[in-house]
Amino acid sequence: MKNKIKELRRVLGLTQEELANRVGVRRETIVFLEAGKYNPSLQLAHDVARVLKTTIDELFLF
């Protein structure tokens, strides 16, 4: 699934590690999310969107 995680993370000046820590997952999870190789649970999608100050609909391209 395509997404804007990397783009929004960089706008906010966050590293993958920082985003992972704020969301409560491992950095590898963020790597896989950004690459579109992992479909997150609804809770994880919500948490990432909250940290990146956006909505799930804006973050993930369905």
Arithmetic mean of pLDDT, 7-12 = 98
Q: Could you give the CA distance from residue 1 to residue 15 in angstroms, rounded to a whole number? A: 21
Angle at 62 between CA 13 and CA 18, to 5 degrees: 20
pLDDT at 62 > cutoff 90: no
Prediction pTM value: 0.93
Domain ranges for the chain: 2-61
Maximum C-alpha span of the chain: 26
Arithmetic mean of pLDDT, 18-27 = 98
32 C-beta neighbours (distance < 10 Å), count: 15
CATH fold label, 2-61: 434 Repressor (Amino-terminal Domain) (1.10.260)
